[in-house]
Structure formats: C-alpha cells, structure tokens
Amino acid sequence: MFESVQAAPADPILGLTDAFRADPNPNKINLGVGVYQDSNGKTPALKCIQRATQWIAQAKTASSYLPIPGLAEYTAAVQQLAFGESHEVVTEGRAFTAQTPGGTGALRVVGDFLAQNFAGTTLWITDPTWANHANIFTAAGVSLAKLPYFDKATNSLAFGELIEALGKIPAGDAVLLHGCCHNPTGVDPTQEQWSQIADVMYAQKLLPILDFAYQGFGDGIEEDAVGLRTMAREGAELIVCSSFSKNFGLYNQRVGASTFVCADADRAKVVGSQVKRAIRSNYSNPPAHGARLVATVLADEALREEWHTELTRMRNRINGMRVLLVSKLKEKGVEGDFSFIERQRGMFSFSGLTKDQVLALREKHAIYIVDSGRINVAGITEVNVDRLTEAIADVVG
C-alpha cells in the first residue's frame, strides 16, 4: 500500500531545525525557527509562567474535557489583551473566541470555517509571508492569491502597491495580514497606513484576517495591537488568530486562539456555532494546560506585571541585537547600508541574503537561516555575532 507514497520535502523552517540538530559542528548557529533565546543562547522559561505552573499544580484541577471553544476565562482574556478591556468589540460581546492548539491551529480553524461557509472565496496572502500560511489554507481547501507587500529596493512596505491591489480584490474575498511584526519581513504598516488599509478593505467588502503571533515583540503590548484595533471599527467584521508561543515562551504547549469579530452579539453566536463545528471535526476540543497558564498570569495583577517586565526584556534584547548586528556587519567590511535591520520589528530580519548565500552559510559555516534570507535576530548573542558577521562577509564578498 505505502509503496506509492512519495517523500515530502522538508519543512522550510522546522526542517531546518532537524538539519541543525544533526550537524556535528560544535560552533553551529541556529537562526532559523522563530524561538526566542537569551544572551546565553537559551530559551528561558518565564518566571511568571513558572509561578503560574506552581499555582495550577496546587489547585489540582481535574482533567475532564474542556468545552469545544476552550477555557472561558482564557478566551475572555484573549479578547481583552487583543482589543483592550473597554473596546466595544469586547463590551458589546460581538466577538466569538475559540482556544486553539497554537497559532497554526487558529489559522487552520479559520481555513476550515472559510471552506465550509464561503466556498469559492479566495484568500489573499502577502508576498512574502510565513512559509506555513499557504500550507495551512491549501490543506483546508481555500484558494490563495498573492498581494504585493514588500519593496526590496527600499526594504520597506510597498504601501502604494498594496493599497492599489486591495482596491482590485473582488467583494467577499478574505485578506490575511500580520497584526504586527510581519513574518518574515519585520515591516509593518503605520497606524495611518492601517487606517487607509481599513478604508479600502471595508469599501471593497473584504474580510480581514490578522495573524497576531508577536504581540509585545514590536514596540509594546498596547502599541502592537494598534493595527487590529484600527481595523476593528464599529460594526466591522474581522478575524484575529492569536498565538502565545513567543510572548509567553509556551512554544510546546500550543496556546492560541481564533477570534471572530461579528457585526453584533447575535451574529457572534451563529458564527461561533460554525466555528465549534469546524473544531469538533478536527481536534474535538483543545488541550488545557497552556491556556490555564496564560489565563492565570493575565488574571493576577502581580503576575501580569512580571510578564510585562519579562516581555520587555526579550524585546529590548532583540532590538539591541539589531543594533549590534548592523555595527558588526560594518566592522567586518560587509558592503551596503544595513540600517533597515534596526527599523524592522519583531523576531526576524529579512536580511536580503540570496538563497545561494544562505546555502553557503549553511554548508561552509554551519549557520542556519531560512532560504528566504530571514534571520531570527533572537538567536544572535554577543558570543556568536562575530562568527556570524565574519561568515556573512565571507559569503557576500
């Protein structure tokens, strides 16, 4: 039976982690997968999460099934974190949130929901975008098309082209944007640009879907929510896919959520019933522990404060590494203006390295970055930056 099965290509991001693990070079550097590392190259367990873990262990919670949309205290907290407690989306009860296994699970639930309720709808994704977006929606049976997003010549947002392209999309289609810290480019719209994006999208009757996986990694928890809060105009409908892998350091707990913002509370109930149907036929109901951790931290003022401090520390370290990378590239004699790396936001830098240069870094220097040239800045440390920039100078020069 299985003799007809063809080998699938390795995943462009997680496959790289496998290759990194298999590499015997003691000086290897992994700047592939988007996982935060501290200045010692370790992924820390956040203190707020360690404390919440103890509280939960003491509470001896039962392990019965969660409801299909997950823990109610978690889904309420997700909405408040994304929109702010007093936002009318929250106070009017016009959003339905389902807890999902990570941000990928959130996106897949949305894909299934679109395929089941809007057959024939095309989903527009940014060019470039996270390598897994196309896989997820294609697997759900949603057709895809690409939107211009990034201007290679200036390393900035191709805003004029984006607006023009949005204005030509047929009514009823959906558009997937990144709420903040665009992956892989690190280039986001300004608040004013978000407002113009919202104008065009709602005039065209398009459904915005915002992938929101890096809240707090750009400029701050509130600052990074500006895009989705600008899109969430009164009465507007949109979807937000949240992930807490990075900002709570809960990668392997798979903690995410899909939030369907509807015109009113009655619509939210109807839409929620379809979302529950999509979940039941996929993974039935979500795992509890990670969501309980996030809900515990967000519900307690002291733990929440501690989380803010820890998240700020992660963000500041990444931004510090951006500055160091740019100065080291200059010091090692790599030609060109790399100041754009300091302007990019989030975990990644879209470095402009070509695929051949990326492969040379891997083969000659055991430095692993994604084929697109995306570097995980959170993997750079004071210890590895010299070796990294010398290797870049070698493959570029």
Q: Is 307 a catalytic residue?
A: no
Burial of residue 390 (CB within 10 Å: 0-12, 13-18, 19+) is middle
Cα(316)–Cα(184) distance, rounded to whole angstroms?
19
Q: Is 55 a catalytic residue?
A: no
CB-nearest residue to ligand LMR: 34
> What is the end-to-end Cα distance of the chain in Å, rounded?
51
Interacting residues of 315 by C-beta distance below 8 A, sequence separation 6+:
216, 217, 218, 220
Query: x-or-dash pattern for ligand LMR, window 153-192, by CB under 6 A?
Result: ------------------------------x---------
Binders in 75-134 for ligand LMR, by CB under 6 A:
130, 132
Residue number with CB closer to ligand LMR (28 or 277): 28
Residue number with CB closer to ligand LMR (14 or 265): 14
Q: Is 332 a catalytic residue?
A: no
How many CA atoms, within 13 angstroms, populate the side-chain half-sphere of residue 105? 27
DSSP assignment of 160-198: HHHHHHHTTSPTT-EEEEESSS-TTT-----HHHHHHHH
CB of 161 to ligand LMR, least distance (A): 24
Cα(302)–Cα(292) distance, rounded to whole angstroms?
17
CB of 379 to ligand LMR, least distance (A): 11
Catalytic residue among 112, 173, 188, 211: 211
CB of 160 to ligand LMR, least distance (A): 27
Size of residue set near ligand LMR by CB under 6 A: 6
Binders in 8-47 for ligand LMR, by CB under 6 A:
13, 33-34
Q: How far is CA 35 from CA 285, 375, 390, in A?
A: 26, 11, 23
CB of 182 to ligand LMR, least distance (A): 11
What amino acid positions are annotated as catalytic residues? 130, 211, 246
Summarize as ranges the residues that interact with ligand LMR (CB under 6 A): 13, 33-34, 130, 132, 183
